[in-house]
Structure 1
Amino acid sequence: MERMRGEGEGEGDPPGRPGPLTDKERLMVQDSWAKVYENRDDVGVAILVRLFVNFPLSRRFFSQFRDIEEPEELERSAQLRKHAGMVMGALNTLVDSLDHSDQVASVLQRVGKAHALRHKVEPGYFKILSDVILEVLGEEFPAVVTPEVGGAWTKLFATVNGGIAAIYEEVGWAELSASTG
């Protein structure tokens, strides 16, 4: 996301909405991601297993492993590994695109519309997933994801979650979920 302000970042932003990443924050996210992405397969699986163990209701959106409860069995699931690869790929595209707000918007459009219209995933799960990602990265890469770097990731995920929420609103999620519930 393009830097649009000087040192007074955040001034004048609507409450609850983060400003764009600063150049320093963008670089912290990109540098830390490069190290994480080297281990993308294992990290992706760890993220999804943590999500499904800590938030078991989230499994209902996945017919392929909805009924798998044991973490070890989840880790061995080929379908889970495939989906973990897609999650990590989408995150990689997002991080690689941080210098280009139009590309970030395109990633969010694609992910948001697919999850709202096709997969019917409740939008709150993006916040839950963001928190799980930050937790796993902080545990698995403590030397890389320092508190300052974690703050940059938190700001990025707040922006992403706001963008996803806007897309859900745009596609009429409230009406869609009411008609299918």
Structure 2
Amino acid sequence: MERKQGEVDHLELERPSPLTDKERVMIQDSWAKVFQNCEDVGVAILIRLFVNFPISKQYFSQFKHIEDVRELEQSSQLRKHAHRVMGAINTLVENLDNAEKVASVLKLVGKAHALKHNVDPMYFKILSGVILEVLGEEYPEVVTPEVGTAWTKLLATLCYSVKAIYDEVGWTPPSASTG
């Protein structure tokens, strides 16, 4: 199910419905258990992303040429990025009741990935799927189908919001080479 760069011209997303109070509580309760193993879970998520979608490594100059999974797992740069990803998710989850804080975090993430790193927004959707997959496998007793549905909705909201920020800053995909 790997997508090749340039295969998707643009990412069209529908605005998800807002999280209910029950969904917010389920997400926060499940995250509290997951976040206890923050670094390991973050590394597992990034490793899964890079194994299943190797093209995604193109955005990481520090470790994009590392092919060996064990070597990737030991990369201090990968661990540092995993920690940042998990920290951003943690800030979102902790502030689900504070729409302004959530919007602020998503704006920072969206602008950085659009303007500084030039990451195609489709990778947020791909990463969301990887996050759901890893959480479901690593924490099946915590991420039940009902909790998974709430996480799906949260991650869809994240993707929608980040894509809106990309649009706001005028991000355009790099032209695919035709050679």
Give the Cα separation in 1 of the matches to 2:171 and 2:14: 21
TM normalised by structure 2 equals 0.89
AA of the residue aligned to 1:152: A
Post-superposition CA distance 1:59-93 (Å, at most 9, x none):
00000000011111110111100000000000000
Q: Which residue of 1 aligns with 2:87?
A: 89
CA drift of 1:16 comes to: 3.2
Is the Cα–Cα contact under 8 Å of residues 19 and 153 in structure 2 kept in the other structure? yes
Superposed CA deviations along residues 19-78 of structure 1, whole A, max 9, x for unmatched, are 110000000000000000000010000000000011000000000000011111110111
- Structure-2 separation of matches of 1:47 and 1:162: 20
Matches within 5 A, 1:1-181: 16-174=14-172, 177-178=174-175
- In structure 2, the partner of 1:5 is none
Distance 2:117 2:29 in 1: 32
For residue 21 of structure 1, give the secondary structure of its aligned residue in structure 2. coil
**Number of corresponding residues:** 166
- How does the TM-score come out when normalised to structure 1? 0.88
RMSD: 1.8
Q: Which has the higher contact order (CA 8 A, sep 6+)?
A: 2
Aligned with 1:169: secondary structure?
Answer: helix
Q: Secondary structure at the match of 2:174?
A: helix
Query: How far did 1:141 drift?
Result: 0.2
Residue ranges of structure 1 left out of the alignment (5+ in a row): 1-14
Distance 2:109 2:164 in 1: 12
Residue identity (%): 68
Task: Report the Cα distance in structure 2 between the residues aligned to 1:16 and 1:173, rounded to whole angstroms.
Answer: 19
Unaligned stretches of 5+ residues in structure 2 = 1-12
